[in-house]
Amino acid sequence: MRNLNLADLEAFAAVAQERSFRRAARLRGVSASTLSQAVRDLEGQLGARLLNRTTRSVLPTEAGQRLLERLLPALGEIGAAVEGVHATGDEPAGLLRINAPLPAIDLVLAPLVARFLERHPRVRLEIVSESSRIDIVAGGFDAGVRWEEHLEQDMIAVPFGGTQTYALVAAPQLIATHGRPQHPRDLAGAPAIRQRFSSGIMFPWEFEKAGEIVRIDPPPRLVSTDIALQRRAALDGVGFWAAFDGYVREDIAEGRLVSLLEDWLPSFPGPSLYYPSRRHTPAPLRAFIDFIQAERQRQS
């Protein structure tokens, strides 16, 4: 086994994940030249190029990608082991990294963060927004949050967040112009504000009532990945908007938006925290699991 420098391995992993020496340097609090030298030293020891560098991008080579996929979980375990040295008694300590789509962060995780960190002051929390399905282990995450249809089968899932509902809304001025839809099919030619995910997919709107499922693909006047922009456009009367009701509840109550076709939008289970099966769950993750389970019992 080569006597590799752990710091060089960490430097490579940081650059490969960020696809940038500059961004990785900012995150690690060192200079880009320091990281560049560390990666060169590692490549020299291994006798293989790990990163393809151009003036505009940094991408792992095939060998670099293979190393990264094996290296990230190992670095996570090393980090957990080191953090565990600083834990006192039964108090959890260390870094907890969670990957979640933005609606889960905004509507489910965000209300819990302050109370969780207040209860566990030695835990550091990092939450990364990601809408597409990823390998959380390869990405160096302790856990992810997804809805049931996107959960991996080999993961342990812990439901939390209660039930959720989609809402179809429009500004009063838009309804005055285009009329109030009485059936989902009335939306077929209506102006719409649509969500495009980072994968490039734009899902149709789905409605269900008495066992009948209707999928509508209305023509978008605005397409965006940004929820704040979508909400602003809905308030300004750009188009009809389908969103989690948590984003529009106050706007509906204040009359800024009108809720439509409520009987076609049944509630559904909220997201789940998921994580790989391990004999020894890291203490920060175990503390978070216990916390959300207690929250779920409190709200039931």
Structure tokens at 103: 């609606």
Is the domain of 171 the same as that of 262? yes
Query: What CATH number should be reported for the domain holding residue 173?
Result: 3.40.190.10
Predicted model pTM: 0.68
pLDDT at residue 83 is higher than 50: yes
Task: Output the CA–CA distances (angstroms, integers) from residue 223 to 101, 187, 193, in the order listed.
Answer: 18, 16, 6
What does DSSP assign to residue 207? E
Is the domain of 261 the same as that of 170? yes
**Count of C-beta atoms within a 10 Å radius of residue 264:** 20
Is the domain of 136 the same as that of 283? yes
249-263 pLDDT per residue, tens? 999 999 999 999 999
Number of domains the chain is built from:
3
Residues 108, 110, 114, 120: what is their CA dihedral angle, to the nearest 10 degrees? Answer: 60
* Mean pLDDT, all residues of the chain: 88
Phi, psi of 57 (to 5 degrees): -155, 160
Determine which of 95-99, 231-235, 279-283 has the lowest per-residue pLDDT on average.
279-283
**Residue type for position 21:** F
Is the domain of 170 the same as that of 261? yes
104-119 pLDDT per residue, tens? 999 999 999 999 999 9
| Residue 75, domain member (yes or no) | no
Number of H helices, E strands in the chain: 10, 16
Range of the domain at 199: 166-266
141-178 pLDDT per residue, tens? 899 999 876 666 678 888 887 889 999 999 999 999 99
Tell me the C-alpha distance between 224 and 204, whole Å: 14
Determine which of 16-20, 53-57, 122-126, 192-196 has the lowest per-residue pLDDT on average.
53-57
